[in-house]
Structure 1
């Protein structure tokens, strides 16, 4: 796999049984790239290890006054330098490719998981945590995948050098072998503490990121109530906690770096002392002493790779566990449905169409009609809307909604979403032009102009026509800022409605689509929605009389079950509890509760 081939057409099905198994699975998916990096890494370090031998030969040639040997040794050094430079370049290329492709695979897996779970994801994992997993943790996982092949190459060359020293001079060889083991083992006791400190820093940074995101998202409300200073002080405290945790973590890293300098330095001093002793005894020539010293100096390089690999593995395991926590989530808390129902729905090629029903509440939305749903609890209305889209909102929601008799959680998510589109009460609008915002999968039956007209977006189009960057005053080229913060709440709501109408799904579920608009605009939206969605199933969660009056049928849900069904005006006349919710009359509420 090359970088130019990214993204993957299929990132695969990861092993999410544990963080370690996930790392093993990720490594196995890149065996070709690992083999290339291992080969180039071995060649690179082997040429470096051969340099001391050539340098010792050059010193011996000078001592022996052999010009021919000195010339040949110089030629060998040139060849080694060329090979070393080429192998280093290819190793860097292969290693970076492994890093980037591994990180890209994990990010694709996370993106796919996010699209599968939708809003369910942020109920089980904090949004800041998801951001940290897809950024910092992905980097650490890629670091381990990239460093592993270089670590194996370092092991191969180091073992070869130590074995050669033992054969050449046992006393020096054993000293070097023992010293290498001591250097490698010296940092292992420090790594768990460093990991804990890094995790603490990461957790505090994640909370600070989440706090900043929430503050920016609610900035308009904060300014309205004068709460900017309160939230600013909260973020200051969170930021200072991150700073303190970073300093605490940096101290451990500085200790690890110091150990990696001191221990190899002590080994080098011991080898020089022992080598000088052997040279004084006449057991080593000057050229041989230079070769031994150079070989030990070379070992400092792979020893750094040992330390790096140990740190990469230590830090990547918690990151892998966090990634597995996200990748292991399923829509129903118990693994993605793969049972007989799902297999049968897929095998039969059942087209999702028909009445939309919710067995838990008894709600039924007839096919091709506009059904309004009134709930006494906004929170319950939100959960019910999500369940109608095939997303169980709570672990206790055992039964899924059904479309044409087929359970929505028993079919692949892509089919469920193509059949049922749920627009929640706080839809997200991404930055870009209006044309890009409306560039969504659609049936083609509804044009962008009709959708915008039905959503009563004329004032939004006027505002966007003045926001064009090319001076064309074409509203479709008008720029929408991040999360459409340059627009009012009602304008954002209507743009989101137009986008949903343009999609034209078999079933459209809207949760309070007109809560932020005035009565005049709401009346226009209600009539436009009814006309545009004629012949399509539409479910609107609302308590607005203007919207309820346009519905073919109104379903009143109370205490988790359908309490009444009928036209809006009939329910107003015959059902006190319904009248209490719609008119927001507290006296009627008390009378309804007493009669119950």
Structure 2
């Protein structure tokens, strides 16, 4: 794999059982690159190790006054110099390639896992930790993969030199062969402490990163309440803790480096002292002493890679552990053992056949231009055989082009059904959902998107779209059929044109989506900020922080409308919008999504009044179904959620309190 071939077509299925196993998996998947780096490393280190022997031959030739041997030694030294330069160049090239490709593989794996988990990721892993894993940790993992082949080449060279010296001059070679392992193992007692200090430093750095990320994300709110100095002081303290931990870690690694310099120096003194005595006794020649001395000097270079691999593993092991933790998370649990609930059965008498259309999670009252406004109220069959009242039939039977299709050509359409809560969003209608518990809305949105919250996933049956279970579909097909926009959508930096350039059916243009989301004022503001007065070319800052909350929300809504999925789930799409704009946004959604299933999770009366079908969830299951006005008159708990009534206010108008409702239940 070369850098020019990135990204990987398929980064593979990682072994995420532990950090070391993940590092081993990376090494195995880059075996070709590792072997290339090892070969060039052997050429480089082997040529360096051969220089002392050539120098010894040259010295002997001078002492023997042999011009031919001196010329041969000079030619061989020149050849070794070329081999050293070539080996060093190619070793660096292949090592950096291993580093970059390993880092790219990890980043692709993390990106794929993040896309698969969606918003459920941050329920198990802090956002700052995800940032740390995808940036600094990726580099440290790549460093270890890159250093591994160079260390292997250095270790093989050291072994070869020791064997060569024993054969070349046993009297001195034995001293070197015994001393080198002592040099390599001298730092081992210090490595656990150095590793623990490095881990502590990275832990502190990760916390500081999380604090900085959270502070930046909430900067607008902090400025509103005057909390900037408080969080700035917290970050100062966290930063100083990181600095102190880094200094303590650096001291330990400095001690290891000092030992790596001191011990070879002591070995060199021992070799020279012993070699001089042997030369005086005539047991070795001057050339042999120079050769052994030069070999020991040259060994300092490959020995430095022993320290590097220790540092690389020390730094990459916790990084790989964090990466493996993220990569080991699963999108959903295994299928339940029992049979999955069937798709809602035949409709009861009096219902007309529903065509694919707009469905929302809030009820919609008939108004001019609304879908199914003139339809009557009939019974609706539930999958368990019971009947809900309040279902509305469509009056026009309208359908739209551009529906999502599967690879085989079959259209993914039909009712959207959640067997956990019993929610049924009829195909082609605007369905509004009101949740008694605000947290239930987020969990419901994730389930409808086919990726429930990880801590709640065990044993849950899959949401169904028509006859298909979303868990049985490939992730790309499930997301093409059902799109979920959560209550805090993210706008990436770039132009507005790039923001709206998303996979779509092509049936909805950007202009139509912006108009439906009531983005006229946003376009005017962006046109003023654009050089050529083109709002589509205006640059949006990260997360759209240059815009107000309502403007960001409407742009995110326009982006969702452009995709034109078969089923669109909107979680509080107008929570930051004023009431007048909210009403127009509701009309725009109803008009643009006619003939498509749309589910809107909201408690806004303005949106609820524009829905064809309203579902009220209480205690995690469907409690009532009807129109907004029907539920306002007949369901006290629904009215309490929508109007924010207190028990005293309900009692003053003769409505039952929560206590009364619970008693009668």
TM-score bracket relative to the smaller structure: over 0.9
In structure 2, the residue matched to 1:314 is: 314
Aligned length, in residue pairs: 589
For 2:473 and 2:5, the matched residues in 1 are separated by 31
How far off its partner does 1:171 sit?
A: 2.7
Q: Deviations over 1:84-132 (max 9, x none)?
A: 1111111111111111111111111111111111111111111111122
How far off its partner does 1:425 sit?
A: 0.7
Alpha carbons 1:271, 1:293 under 8 Å: kept: yes
The alpha-carbon distance between structure 1 residues 338 and 102, as it changes in their structure 2 partners (threshold 3 A), is farther
In structure 1, the residue matched to 2:613 is: 553
Query: Which of 486, 490, 499 is the equivalent residue of 2:546?
Result: 486
In structure 2, the residue matched to 1:496 is: 556
In structure 2, the residue matched to 1:534 is: 594
In structure 2, the residue matched to 1:6 is: 6
In structure 2, the residue matched to 1:404 is: 466
For 1:578 and 1:158, the matched residues in 2 are separated by 78
Which deviates further from its counterpart, 545-554 or 578-587? 578-587
How far off its partner does 1:20 sit?
A: 2.4
> CA-atom RMSD, angstroms?
2.0
In structure 2, the residue matched to 1:380 is: 440
Q: Is 2:422 aligned against 1:357?
A: no
How far off its partner does 1:375 sit?
A: 1.3
In structure 1, the residue matched to 2:323 is: 323
For 1:385 and 1:457, the matched residues in 2 are separated by 25
For 2:241 and 2:158, the matched residues in 1 are separated by 43
Query: Which of 451, 454, 459 is the equivalent residue of 2:516?
Result: 454
In structure 2, the residue matched to 1:280 is: 280
In structure 2, the residue matched to 1:576 is: 636
In structure 2, the residue matched to 1:592 is: 657
Q: Please give the residue correspondences for 1:8-407 in structure 2 after superposition, counting only pairs within 5 Å.
A: 8-332=8-332, 334=333, 351-397=411-457, 398-407=460-469
The alpha-carbon distance between structure 1 residues 588 and 538, as it changes in their structure 2 partners (threshold 3 A), is farther
In structure 1, the residue matched to 2:371 is: none
Q: Deviations over 1:59-97 (max 9, x none)?
A: 222222223322222222111111211111111111111
For 1:357 and 1:335, the matched residues in 2 are separated by 19
How far off its partner does 1:32 sit?
A: 1.4
Which deviates further from its counterpart, 223-232 or 455-464? 223-232
For 2:335 and 2:219, the matched residues in 1 are separated by 37
For 1:156 and 1:395, the matched residues in 2 are separated by 49
For 2:509 and 2:301, the matched residues in 1 are separated by 64
How far off its partner does 1:350 sit?
A: 6.4
TM-score norm. by structure 1 comes to: 0.95
In structure 2, the residue matched to 1:564 is: 624
For 2:221 and 2:499, the matched residues in 1 are separated by 25
TM-score norm. by structure 2 comes to: 0.86
The alpha-carbon distance between structure 1 residues 221 and 347, as it changes in their structure 2 partners (threshold 3 A), is closer
For 2:300 and 2:454, the matched residues in 1 are separated by 56
How far off its partner does 1:492 sit?
A: 0.4
The alpha-carbon distance between structure 1 residues 339 and 441, as it changes in their structure 2 partners (threshold 3 A), is farther
For 2:638 and 2:160, the matched residues in 1 are separated by 84
